[in-house]
Amino acid sequence: GGGGGTAMAEGEALLSVDYEVFGKVQGVFFRKYTQGEAKRLGLVGWVQNTSHGTVQGQIQGPTARVQELQEWLRKIGSPQSRISRAEFSNEKKIEALEHKDFQILK
């Protein structure tokens, strides 16, 4: 008996990560595009404007997809945005998604 663990691909582990994006990211439909990209990737979480001119939120989903959105937040964003940097924190593996979908919070 005995033998191997589960044959789950590494990319299928669920990841949760908080993010904040700096630059010209308010008033350029950044939240709407972030939501669209997250839904396209099958991710859940939320996005909102902060009082100090940044956009912040949380992403949850399969690790590989979360990393794709992280790259998008770093480099692409909405067409009119000018991203100076994106910071990620509280990255952790989770057992189950804590959100039903990807929401824009006011």
Q: What residues act catalytically? A: 31, 49
CB 82 within 8 A of CB 24: yes
Pick the closest to residue 59 from 77, 32, 38 (CA basis). 38
Pick the closest to residue 72 from 25, 14, 106, 26 (CA basis). 25
d(CA 23, CA 15): 25
Q: Tokens 């979360």 label which residue?
A: 66
